[in-house]
Amino acid sequence: MRPSRLLLAAALAVLAACDAEPPAEPAAGEAPAAADATAPAAAAADAAPSRLPAAVTVATNEPFWQAAIAGTTVTLTGVDSPRRVLRIGSDIADGGQRRVAARDDAGSVVVEISDRACVNDMSGAPFPFSGRLTIDGRGPFAGCAAPPGYRPPAEPAPALATSIPARFLGLWAADEAGCRTPPASIEWLRVTPEALRFHESLGAVRAVRPRGDDAVELDLDFDGEGQQWQATRLLRRTGDVLTLSGEDMPPISRTRCATGDEAAAVSEAEKAPAAARDVVRRYYAAIDRRDYGTAHALWADDGRASGQSAAAFANGFAKTARTRVSAGAPGRPEGAAGSLFVEVPVEVDATLDDGTRQRFAGRYVLKRANGVPGASAEQLRWRIARADLTPVP
């Protein structure tokens, strides 16, 4: 080939390179396309394992968009917009963060997902993840994210009352003479806000339902004579007569005793160490039914011993689905500065809303007033002073 022809060929090659179409610039908010845009790019070698699901949907409000990631595509839908199926070009996940970029002939979509919980700003429904969408360079639009088929939990039912109304409280005996005769105490019935106390058994309140102006229906956890059981009882007051009935028992009637002293209504059984264990059981029963107000009130000093306000206390159990406690025999009470203290060993099994199980072991320290003139009934009952719990495998 002649030199002139070589120079011509070289010139044509340079011109061809100049005329070639440059690579398309990535849309705003989109990562540069991978060399092979037909398959998702591999995650960085040093990325943390993803805590997010492979298939996930992000939904936004005003504008209303929904982007569903499944396999190698993102399906985008919106109000008054055609459905689009975009091919994923990059999918990068690092621990609790994920970024997916996808394209079609009309443009691009970037989906960003975080493992932070989200609350829909219109419905108030909770979602497990947060998300953002950037659509054809517009956005990002914030929203919530969840796996396919996710349904937000239903609104919890209103909490049932767990305290017996004041008009039913007090000491009740077989008759007026029985109120003044200690040997008749075997027939006494003491009604406190949280329990029915008999001679050798105690029925701790789980729920209270009004039945007209003169009666309440009680769901009770009984403990007595080495046995535990559950039952429903109806308390009806007519004047100074209290009638207790249930499907598994004949009705019994008791007459109100005029104690003249609020503290006198606190029985010796309520002051015994075994009653401290009952308080721990009632505490976890209240948490399990999400009655956090009752649980908080079982801490000493009107809940202040918990170190939290009632609202902060409730928020601490927001992700707890259920709890179970095994309470052991209480230790020997010890006195200090007009108070008695007793330790109750426990093992606690908690399950979170996401199915995670947590186990703890340790002790609760409870206290009550002892030998203090003028102490109220509340001060004479055991209340939680301190919790010493540690996680166990």
pLDDT single digits (tens) 213-265: 789 999 999 988 888 899 999 999 998 899 999 999 999 999 988 754 445 55
Which of the four pLDDT bands, split at 50, 70 and 90, describes residue 348?
A: very high
Determine which helix (DSSP H) or strand (DSSP E) holds 38, and give its type and residue range: none
- pLDDT of residue 146 exceeding 70, the answer is yes
Residue with tokens 């079982």: 298
In the structure, what pLDDT confidence band is assigned to residue 34 with cuts at 50, 70 and 90?
Answer: very low
Three-state DSSP at 6 gives helix
pLDDT higher at 157 or 22? 157
Q: Name the DSSP class of 158.
A: P
Residue 29, pLDDT > 60, answer no
For residues 326 and 15, which has the higher predicted lDDT (pLDDT)? 326
- Cα gap 326→317, rounded to integer Å: 19
The arithmetic mean of pLDDT across residues 330-342, rounded, is 88
Distance between CA atoms of 240 and 259, rounded to whole angstroms?
Answer: 13
Question: Is 56:128 a contact under the CB 8 Å cutoff?
Answer: no
Per-residue pLDDT, averaged over 73-83, amounts to 92
Domain locations along the chain? 56-146, 158-258, 267-393
The pTM of the full predicted model, rounded to 2 decimals, is 0.42
The predicted pLDDT at position 13 comes to 37
- Predicted confidence at residue 154, as pLDDT, reads 65
The CATH fold assigned to 267-393 is Nuclear Transport Factor 2; Chain: A, (3.10.450)
Which of 59, 66, 54 minimizes the C-alpha distance to 121?
59
CA–CA dist 231, 255 (Å, integer): 23
- pLDDT at residue 264 in the model: 55
Instruction: Give 20's pLDDT tier (boundaries 50, 70, 90).
Output: very low
Query: Using an 8 Å Cβ cutoff, are 17 and 29 in contact?
Result: no
40: pLDDT confidence band, cut at 50, 70 and 90?
Answer: very low
Predicted confidence at residue 374, as pLDDT, reads 67
- pLDDT, average across residues 353-366: 93
- The answer to whether 320 and 352 have CB atoms below 8 angstroms apart is yes
Report the percent of the chain where pLDDT is more than 70.
82
Q: Indicate the pLDDT class of residue 177, thresholds 50, 70 and 90.
A: confident
Q: Which of 220, 255, 224, 222 is nearest to 234 (CA)?
A: 220
Q: What distances in angstroms separate CA 330 from CA 110, 287, 344, 359, one per listed residue?
A: 60, 21, 5, 20
Beta bridge mates, 259: none
Contact 266, 381 (CB under 8 A): yes
pLDDT of amino acid 120: 85
Contact by Cβ (8 Å): 145, 118? yes
- Measured from the Cβ of residue 168, the count of other Cβ atoms closer than 10 Å reads 21
Q: With contact defined as beta carbons under 8 Å apart, do 194 and 205 qualify?
A: yes
- Looking at residue 265, what is its pLDDT? 53
Using a 10 angstrom Cβ sphere, with 0-12 exposed, 13-18 middle and 19 or more buried, the burial of residue 204 is buried
The DSSP result for 240-269, as a single string, is TEEEEEETTEEEEEEEEE--S-GGGGS-HH
Tokens of 179: 């109120």
Q: What's the pLDDT score for residue 360?
A: 95
Of 80-89, 123-132, 162-171, 272-281, the poorest mean pLDDT is in 162-171
Greater model confidence, 381 or 136: 136
Q: What is the mean pLDDT of the chain?
A: 82
Examine the pLDDT at 47 and tell me if it is beyond 70.
no
Q: Give which of 279, 277, 274 is closest to 296, Cα–Cα.
A: 279
Given pLDDT bands bounded at 50, 70 and 90, which one contains residue 281?
very high
For residue 367, which amino acid is it? K
The Cα 81–Cα 62 span in angstroms is: 14
Q: Are 216 and 232 in contact (CB under 8 A)?
A: no
What pLDDT sits at residue 25? 47
DSSP H or E run through 292: helix 292-297
Per-residue model confidence (pLDDT) at position 82: 92
Higher-pLDDT residue of 390, 183: 390
Instruction: Tally DSSP H helices, then E strands, for the chain.
Output: 7, 23
Letter string b/e over residues 174-187, b meaning 16 or more CB atoms within 10 A of that residue's CB: beeebbeeeeeeeb
Tell which wins on pLDDT, 246 or 19.
246
pLDDT the model gives residue 1: 42
What residues pair up with 75 in beta bridges, in sequence order?
68, 85
For 9, how many CA atoms within 13 A lie in the half-sphere containing its CB? Answer: 6
Partners of 134 in the beta sheet? 110
What is the percent of the chain where pLDDT is above 90?
47
Give the CATH number of domain 158-258; options: 3.40.50, 1.10.10, 2.40.128, 2.40.50: 2.40.128
Average pLDDT over residues 296-301: 91
For tokens 């004949």, the residue is 250
Q: Which pLDDT does position 200 carry in this prediction?
A: 82
| Euclidean distance between CA atoms 1 and 155, whole angstroms | 86
Reported as a single tens digit per residue, the pLDDT across 202-225 is 899 989 998 887 899 999 999 888
Tokens of 98: 């994920």
- Residue 346, classified by CB atoms within 10 Å of its CB into exposed (0-12), middle (13-18) or buried (19+), is buried
pLDDT for 62: 78
Map residue 212 onto helix, strand or coil: coil
